[in-house]
Chains A and B, each alone.
Chain A
């Protein structure tokens, strides 16, 4: 394998891991409530930006990160309680519109509370690139990759092995039935929003050393994360990760071998083609539609 190809693959993994983490956040909320949360990108932004600003104000970095995660989780919870829950019963498009409104709102608040410059965070293991086969990859990229894998594993363990996890799965399968057997579905969806925000915040803190962050970093991340989740098959955690990695690889390989101008176009074209032949994404399950 030439060093050049290996470098392209490393680049694809770096970028793909970012998309994978963002895509995972979409999956969890969708699984519990059938909602596509377009504010997911803002959760990622908040994780990074809050940490940056707290650290700049003198708070030790690990504490700043934990506070950022806690604050963002609260925002996720508030989003569900004050914006989504009151609109329970609205059509899916109306709910998506609410999340879009929420993302505009969060961006608007961010530009007042933070600033309009770009910021970074220190990498966990330094900036010395790891050399392998003539190509280099930053240690932080490996951290992001590993985290994506760990989070998927934890989510799977949670859904399969814990009672609360089973409750989330049950709510996702049929909300009415879950309520009929006595589950507090509102708390369960609360919980899934909170966890999605938590995953988003962690993603933000881990990717900022690579991607940098700013008050409007959320928009493009949400777009790519959403595309990654759909490519992998909506509702599938491993699918979101694979979708993210595939999307990243497509971009890097197109930039390397076709044209750096059109790398995004090639990536989306491939997604379109995949969806035409596999209408439920790579790992998605067909939904049963009642007539």
Chain B
């Protein structure tokens, strides 16, 4: 592979996204758009991680919002009960998610296909139940307040500031994921996705690679969850719920499994679409379901891979 094509593959997509993020605000009419943008980047960050697990390693997780919840509540519980600053709680949340992922992943990653799906589902439901019931620690179903994030003495508030912060973090996560995909670990993961048995025969340590990527995807989700809680100033147990997990999976699949750029597209579609559909009032839900179905039938590999394949077909 020549240096030039390596540069093209790795750095130009990043540059394109940086340009996109930097120029999009020119079209923003109000703070509302900044909020939407920040939410897109927050979910895209979680989706990048989940995509590594589902798209590259081929492991389904229907409970990933559980890690979102751990990160979100870490920045609520840390300052409230332990007096820790939010940025430290964010890091602790990430570490905690990693540890939980390690503990839970060891036993359940040996399951395959739908059984793994149900095990991860159970995990997500468990976290959600604990968050709802342990009201002394978590504030129960109505949730608890989260203080403002303070970085180097400067309080982060305002949708526009959050837009830039989450955008920058997303780019960081994006680059990291891209590097991982191109590394030997990434190639090992793709081998596992294609055929676990063949990969094992070739000497790939399947169990530890799967666990590694599970932990990494958990940390991505945790950071995203912390950001969400800090941005909203409030955290409620729905952040870890079953519907939230399904939403994350939908973002991965819609954007394109195995496409890191697809994470941004998938998140953008599912954050922006409900806002765009409010004009339809009563029909909002039905239309959302219809659009998801149509997207999956006609762009079945996800938006980014399908469109890319179509466009490259035209080129010829």
Contact = CB atoms under 8 A, between A and B. Distances in A.
Interface in B246-280: 246, 249-250, 253-254, 257
Interface of A: 36, 83, 86-87, 89-94, 97-98, 100-109, 111-112, 219, 223, 226-227, 230-231, 234, 261-262, 264-265, 268-269, 271-272, 275-276, 279-281, 287, 289, 291
Interface size class of B (residues with CB under 8 A): 35 or more
Interface string B95-113: 0000000000001101111
Interface stretch (B27-35, B227-235, B288-296): B288-296
Contacts of B113: 92, 287
B216 interface: no
Nearest to B194: A291
A227 B122 contact: yes
Contacts of B125: 223, 264-265, 268
B290 A101 contact: yes
B129 A262 contact: yes
Nearest to A273: B107
B114 A111 contact: no
B301 interface: yes
Lowest 6 A-B CB distances belong to which pairs? A105-B289, A108-B286, A108-B285, A104-B289, A101-B292, A101-B293
Contacts of A289: 195-197
B257 A281 contact: no
Contacts of A227: 118, 121-122
Contacts of A111: 282, 285
Nearest to A39: B289
B15 interface: no
Contacts of A90: 296-297, 300-301
Given A107-B289, A108-B284, A262-B133, A97 B242 contact: no
B289 A102 contact: yes
B119 interface: yes
B115 A269 contact: no
Given A83-B293, A83-B297, A223-B242, A105 B286 contact: yes
A5 to B, nearest CB: 25
Contact of A280 (B115, B119, B242): B115
B283 interface: yes
